[in-house]
Structure 1
Amino acid sequence: MSRSIRIWLPLAALLAFGLWWLAAIRQLPMADWPALPFRPDGMSLQQILMAFGLMPRGVIALLAGAALGLSGAILQAVLRNPVADPTTLGISSGAQLALVLATIVAPGLLEAGRWPVAMVGAGLAAGLVLLIGAQRAFAPVTMVIAGMLVGMTASAIATAVTLAQGQYLLSLVIWNGGALVQQDWSGVRSLALVLVLGGLGAASLARPLRVLSLGAEGAAGLGMNVAFVRLAAAALAVWIAACVSAELGLIAFVGLAAPALVRTMGARGIGQLLALSPLVGALILSVCDGLVLTLAGATGEMFPTGALTGLIGGPLLIWLLPRLRGSTPPGTERAEGPAPRLARPRRILLGLLMLLIAAALVLVWIGRVPGGWAVLDWSSFNAFLPMRLPRLIAAASAGAALALAGALLQRLTANPLASPEVLGVSGGASLGYAAVTFALTAPTAMALGVGAMIGAALSLALIAAFVSRRDMPAERVLLAGIAVSAMASAVLSAIMATGSTQAWMILNWLSGSSSAIGMGGALPLLALTLSVWGIAMTSRRWLATLPLGADVAGGLGLPLRLARLSLIGLAGIATGAATMLVGPLSFVGLMAPHLARRIGLARAADHVTGAALIGAILMLAADFGARMAGFPYELPLGLFASLIGAPWLIWLMMRSRT
């Protein structure tokens, strides 16, 4: 054991205990603490709160942190990936989505407990990510991008479904944030059993994982069944993480931080990693919970502990990026093969424009009434047009703006997986929106829009500055953006769990809705989208040259710094304006540029224009689904946009190399 471990672990343990002790004596003087055995009939109210609330909370923080640390260590060892953990691989979000859907749609499934439901959700998410990874030899960047995008999709759907069910809203929001509040010792007993069984399983896998660390080919040459070991280790890690999610909710990045810190402190070998990661994970979560309790004592606000761990994981993921082995992510130009190039793209662009106009007319003319579907007559059409036209304009404009931002970012980074959602631009817009809601007593729509635009542009500028200084491959930009999104989600989760007026305002915006927008909001959004498109057209030389690489672009006389900053700002403005309507996650910015490229719109001007038209069509379809699927109630627009985007994203990442 290294000297760093011998020094830092006792100090962390002392800090964790000190923070809990301060919270305990603030609640009840030490002389009045209850003694074993705890008998509620002989205790005061404060003693009951101590014995069945604060004490089990302190213990369960240690157990959950240890379990997540062990799960992360197993995943990192079996995948040989330093940024793998239940959060980055989408496991925790899969469990979260399954539990939310069961709570709202089929509560009878929870009669046997939450654990089986969480296992199904976590298993499906992990299976999907591993299936994608298997086609790419489990490349580290590929696995993390696939996992975190699957996780983002699951979280978005869970949030939208939660918003649609007001009676469950507050409890699900707090649970989704990873609250450690306890009412008895049952959770402690359950997670203690999970940790013991998980530890025994990890001990039995230590030697096979040590052999697997030599590489899949080397391990197979020594007679190991590599597929079985990978499956067994992944199943164990998924089971551990799902149990924690079922008991406490979504607690992010502890499984990433614990093994990373163990390695940083000098641990060597699989054995030390598996042995020390649970200990470090326990201390991380315990210190975080102690900070939450201290903050609650000072301010009176109790934040979910899981939100605070996200603030740790985002910077840690960025710090680990330079240490990742290089690999080509799925969806790159080489992986997809050469895209078709139309000789006469104007016919396609004209066809897309006509399709957009026809779709708008059809969606205005048909709808649902209490008796079923109906086609409006002329008088009804004239009556409904003033109500439907603004939201159709706004939805199409938002979709076009997101598609423009995605096309700009994909050409800027030369990576077809870039999009406002993936690069953290939408997360930055969310933080900008949240900042304005707290800074102003009665924020106007204009102020909220400006805040979202500034937040989007700043987040993208920070990512670009970080990556450009380190000369990283293009896929590192994606991971940096995902880290920013994780930090934004953590901050928003903490805000929403307070239950303040601003929290409800932010929570409602996160799902996206065009129901309240009028012509006064729709026309400015349309004007801004057309302006962004016009500027992009004047920058088509930059957009055509940047994908060739910095050396080629510089050799052709392109002002690289000006071009990058201008395109970053333009993408940030477009994203900030669009997210005001659709929320921070829709995947339109990822899908539309891809579709435009695959139908042959390869030239810069054609690509950008085609992406904008396709994005407008996709968002019109999402808006129609949001209005009609839950008639007479309107469902969140962001949910339908994500449901359109998720199958496309999964299909895209599962495509094999050509």
Structure 2
Amino acid sequence: MSRPAQLALAGVGLLAAALWAWAAVGLLPPGSWPSLPFRAEAMSLEQILLAFGLMPRGTVALLAGAALGLSGALLQTVLRNPVADPTTLGISSGAQLALVLSTIFAPTLLVDGRWPVAMAGAALAAALVLAVGARRAFAPVTMVIVGMLVGLTSSAIATALTLAQGEYLLSLVIWNGGSLVQQDWSGVRALALVLASGGLAAALLARPLRVLSLGAEGAASLGLRVAAVRLAGIAVAVILAGSVSAELGLIGFVGLAGPALARSLGARTIPERLMLSSLIGALLLSLCDGVVLTVAGASGEMFPTGALTGLIGGPLLIWLLPRLRGSTPPGTEAAEGPAVRLARPRPVLLALAATLVAVSLALVWIGRVPGGWVILDTQSFADFLPMRLPRLIAAASAGAALATAGALLQRLTGNPLASPEVLGVSGGAALGYALAIYLVAAPTAPLLHGATMAGGVIALALVAAYLLRREMPAERILLAGIAVSALASAVLSAMMASGDARSWAVLAWLSGSSSAVLMPGALALAAVALTLWAAALATARWLAILPLGPGVAGGLGLPLRRARVALILLAGLATGAATVLVGPLSFVGLMAPHMARRAGLARPAHHVTGAALIGALLMLLADFGARVAGFPYELPLGLFASLIGAPWLLWLLMRANR
């Protein structure tokens, strides 16, 4: 590591220590600080707050940040993917879902604290991802996709239950922000033990991981048990990140920023990356907590530390992206395998279109009343059609637009993980909507629409700026999008964790609903979806050449910069329009294109068309489920879209390669 890098780390550490000391001095002058051993009965109230609150809090920030940084470094090394971090395996979402389920259905499980329940949820989520990954030899891209699906499904269920029992679960919303508030030293002892054990395990794995970095085939030829090493590395990462989630809540981004910054500062060998990632994670979280303490000293603590990590880490990582000296690209291994390519895709597309029409007609005629299910008669159909038709058009159009946007982004980056959510478009749109809710006393519909569109455009512009500046590999483009998403999510988490009544309006919108859409808005969204589809077909040649890489594309005469900008703008406009009407349901943009590709629709025109049809079908079924499952109340649309699409894609990923 270079001398300037060492000085930079030392400066960050000194700043974090100074912020903590400022908060401590504001609580109690240094001459009155308690001395060891701490005995509460002999202390004043201020001394108790310092000895059992502020001191363990500062220590916990260092331990938790180090654990998350080490966890992220292990995952990125094992999966050979610089986009991987602890959330990739659904650890935090699994812990969140377990706590929500326990709070509602089995509160006695929480008698001994959150740790056993949260750890169990995190372990089950990771086990599901590993079970699917084992069927494909732990192929990196498969692992990341499955982890994202498990996380999406877990979060959707937890959000639905939170909305249904909101008056009981406000504390969970606050906990989700990741609070470092401590009342004793028990959290320090628990995390110190976990970090020491994890550090020892990582040291023992350093040599096998160095061999694994040669590639699965090369490592196996040297006698390395590739699957066993991967499983061990992932298990250590899961325990580290799960322990932090259980003790403190959901603290994101540190596990992604730590390893990325370690590489940018010159860490070349695996032992160096593991140690430096842990150190950077500790300093980053400690600095964030120091900022929270400083703000709390002036106005009271209004948001948890976990909500701030993205505010600092996100912009820092975006700034450092062009300066990354190198990164390990996602591994291409035998387990990934080529997707099926249909010789005659048109029958499949016609079948999808026919299914979409049939489902639309069925959903118009079928209804649920207090007495049960009914098929509407002619008069009832005429009465209900004006209410049902706009939401059906809006749901199908939103699904088609998001799926088409996802297909464009996946072909643009050459990466199946690309989607409006991953590239930060939906996060920016959601942040724009939330800011309008919080900053304006009575926001009008046009204002909400404008703020949502503006947020998506700004997020997309940040990512596009790096595409225009220089040629960036696909994984760095994804990393830029995830950094933008983390920044938006951090602000949203801070708003939600404040406990304000407006949080529920934002939470309900985030889960997605088409119930408030009127016919003009539905027709406008349909026009956007059709226009985007037509534009995608017009750029089919670009979509066929771009995945081959910038060198080949340039050699074939493709205007690379113009093509990238045009496709990103198309995807951004489609995502913004869909988000305005039905919420940030961008997971359809991840699942539908992947489903279409796995179904054998390989050529650009067929792939885009199939993705649009599958996306529309997914959203229609999700809208119907959201409308009737909790009758007479409507449940979140996002929940049903995840529950419909995720199992299907998991099944496709588990199929044997042809």
TM-score bin (small chain): 0.7 to 0.9
Q: Distance in 1 between matches of 2:23 and 2:12?
A: 17
Q: Distance in 1 between matches of 2:276 and 2:560?
A: 46
Say which of 360, 363, 384 aligns to 2:363.
360
Q: Given that residues 142 and 330 in structure 1 are in contact (C-alpha distance below 8 angstroms), is that contact kept between their aligned partners in structure 2?
A: no
Q: Which amino acid is 1:641 matched to?
A: A
Q: Matched residues in 1 for 2:349 and 2:76: separation?
A: 49
What is the correspondence of 1:391-410 to structure 2 with a 5 Å cutoff?
391-410=391-410
1:546 counterpart (510, 531, 543): 543
The equivalent position to 2:344 in structure 1, one of 325, 341, 346, is 341
**How many Å apart are 1:511 and its aligned residue?**
1.0
Show CA shifts across 1:365-396 (max 9, x none). 32142x54444556655555554444334323
Question: How far is the alpha carbon of 1:69 from its aligned partner?
Answer: 2.9
Question: Could you say which residue in structure 1 is the equivalent of 2:449?
Answer: 449
> What's 2:182 paired with?
182
1:596 Cα deviation after fit: 5.5
The range that moved more, 190-199 or 272-281, is: 272-281
Q: What secondary structure is seen at the aligned counterpart in 2 of 1:335?
A: coil
Aligned-residue offset at 1:336 = 0.7
Paired residue type of 1:590: L
Change (3 A) 1:357 1:147: closer
Q: Which amino acid aligns with 1:398?
A: A
Q: Deviations over 1:24-63 (max 9, x none)?
A: 2223344444444444455444443333322221121122
Structure 1 residue 211: Cα displacement: 5.3
Q: Deviations over 1:514-568 (max 9, x none)?
A: 33x153xx42232232244146426633234432337888899876655554443
- Partners of 1:555 and 1:222 lie apart in 2 by 39
State the partner residue of 2:124: 124
CA contact under 8 A between 2:251 and 2:309: conserved in structure 1? Answer: yes
Deviation of 1:180 after TM superposition, in Å, equals 0.6
**1:86 and 1:255 in contact (8 A); partners too:** yes
**How many Å separate the matches in 1 of 2:219 and 2:351?**
52
After TM superposition, list the pairs within 5 Å mapping 1:309-348 onto structure 2. 309-315=309-315, 319=320, 323-327=326-330, 335-342=338-345, 347-348=350-351
Q: Which amino acid aligns with 1:630?
A: G
SS in 2 for 1:336: coil
The CA distance in 2 between the partners of 1:471 and 1:332, in whole Å, is 29
Change (3 A) 1:617 1:628: same
Cα separation, partners in 2 of 1:268 and 1:565, compared to 1, 3 Å: closer
Would you say the 8 A contact 1:596–1:607 is kept in 2?
Answer: yes
How far is 1:179 from its partner? 0.7
Amino acid in structure 1 at the alignment position of 2:368: G
Once the two structures are overlaid, the 10-residue window that deviates more, 602-611 or 626-635, is 602-611
- CA distance in 2: counterparts of 1:559 and 1:200, whole angstroms: 51
TM-score calculated relative to the size of structure 1: 0.85
Give 1:582 deviation, angstroms.
3.3
Code of the residue aligned with 2:523 in structure 1: it is L
Alignment deviations for residues 483-529 of structure 1 (CA, whole Å, 9 cap, x no partner): 332332222112211233554432221111233x153xx42232232
- Which moved further from structure 2: 17-26 or 162-171? 162-171
**Which residue is 1:523 aligned to?**
520
Moved more, 284-293 or 424-433: 424-433
Q: What is aligned with 2:627?
A: 627
1:575 is displaced (CA, Å) by 1.4
1:608 and 1:529, CA in 2 relative to 1: closer, same or farther beyond 3 A?
farther
Residues 428 and 455 in structure 2, CA contact (< 8 A), matched pair in contact too:
yes
Q: Is the 8 A contact 2:80 2:331 kept in 1?
A: no
Aligned to 2:239: 239
Distance 1:445 1:400 in 2: 23
**CA displacement at 1:178 relative to structure 2:** 0.9
Equivalents in 1 of 2:158, 2:231: separation in Å? Answer: 27
User: Contact (CA 8 Å) 2:255, 2:281: kept in 1 or not?
Assistant: yes
Q: 2:401, 2:528 within 8 Å by CA — same for their partners in 1?
A: no
Measure, in 2, the Cα distance between the counterparts of 1:161 and 1:125.
18
User: What is the rounded CA distance, in whole Å, between the counterparts of 2:256 and 2:413 in structure 1?
Assistant: 27
- In 2: Cα distance, 1:417 partner to 1:270 partner: 25
CA contact (8 A) 2:426 2:579 kept: yes
Read off the aligned partner of 2:580 and give its amino acid letter.
Answer: M
Distance 1:483 1:7, change over 3 A: closer
Residue 301 of structure 1, CA deviation: 4.7
Q: Percent identity?
A: 68
In 1, are the aligned partners of 2:408 and 2:536 still within 8 Å (CA)? no
Q: Using the alignment, how far apart are the partners of 2:231 and 2:203 within structure 1?
A: 16
Contact 2:433 2:448 in 1 (8 A): yes
Matched, 1:291 2:291: yes
1:97 equivalent in structure 2: 97
Secondary structure of the corresponding residue to residue 100 of structure 2: helix
Residue 332 to residue 159, structure 1, CA distance change in 2 (3 Å): farther
Counterpart amino acid of residue 430 in structure 1: A
How many angstroms apart in 2 are the aligned matches of 1:282 and 1:518?
46
Q: Write the letter of the residue equivalent to 1:540.
A: L
Question: In structure 2, what is the Cα distance between the partners aligned to 1:51 and 1:68?
Answer: 25
Q: 1:293 to 1:374 in 2, by over 3 A?
A: same
Classify the secondary structure of the residue corresponding to 2:635: coil
C-alpha displacement of 1:245? 0.8
1:218-266 Cα offsets, whole Å, 9 max, x none, are 6556655444343333322211221111010111232333344445555
Q: Residues 331 and 417 of structure 1 are in contact (CA less than 8 Å); yes or no, is this contact kept in structure 2?
A: no
Distance in 2 (CA, whole Å) between partners of 1:346 and 1:233 is 42
Instruction: Report the residue type matching 2:17 in the other structure.
Output: F
Q: Is the 8 A contact 1:63 1:188 kept in 2?
A: yes
Counterpart residue type for residue 96 of structure 2:
Q
How many Å separate the matches in 2 of 1:212 and 1:406?
Answer: 32
Cα 1:560–1:256 shift into 2, 3 Å = closer
Distance 1:403 1:18, change over 3 A: same
Which amino acid in structure 1 is aligned with residue 530 of structure 2? W
In structure 2, the residue matched to 1:460 is 460
Moved more, 410-419 or 597-606: 597-606
> Per the alignment, do residues 213 and 542 of structure 1 end up closer, same or farther by CA in structure 2, a change over 3 Å counting?
closer
Provide the C-alpha distance between the structure 2 equivalents of 1:158 and 1:35, rounded to a whole number of angstroms: 44
1:642 aligned partner: 642
Counterparts of 1:328 and 1:225 in 2: how far apart (Å)? 17
1:62–1:286 Cα contact (<8 Å) kept: yes
Name which of structure 1's ranges 390-399 and 560-569 shifts more when overlaid on structure 2: 560-569
Matched residue SS, 1:168: coil
Contact 2:263/2:325 (<8 A) preserved: no
CA displacement, residues 278-334 of structure 1 (integer Å, 9 cap, x when unaligned):
444322211110011112334445322112223344456654677233447799998
Q: CA separation in 1, counterparts of 2:317 and 2:114?
A: 30
Contact 1:426–1:579 (Cα < 8 Å) also in 2: yes
Whether the 8 Å contact between 2:423 and 2:478 is mirrored in structure 1 is yes
Query: Equivalents in 1 of 2:228, 2:349: separation in Å?
Result: 53
* Uncovered stretches (5+) of structure 1, i.e. residues with no partner: none
- In the TM superposition, residue 86 of structure 1 has moved relative to its aligned partner by 1.6
Instruction: Judge conservation of contact 1:149–1:422 (CA < 8 Å) in 2.
Output: no
Whether the aligned pair in 2 keeps the contact of 1:142 and 1:328 (CA below 8 Å) is no
The residue number in structure 2 matching 1:166 is 166
| Partner SS for 2:86 | coil
Give the 3-state SS of the residue equivalent to 1:323 in structure 2: coil
For 2:466 and 2:151, the matched residues in 1 are separated by 24
The two structures, once aligned, show a CA RMSD in angstroms of: 3.8
CA contact (8 A) 1:398 1:525 kept: no
Paired residue secondary structure (1:61):
helix
> Matched residue pairs, number?
652
Assess, with a 3 A threshold, how the Cα gap between structure 1 residues 219 and 20 changes in structure 2: closer, same or farther. Answer: same
Q: Which range is displaced more, 353-362 or 340-349? A: 340-349
**How far did 1:133 drift?**
5.4
Q: Could you tell which deviates more after superposition, 63-72 or 340-349?
A: 340-349
TM-score, normalised to structure 2, is: 0.85
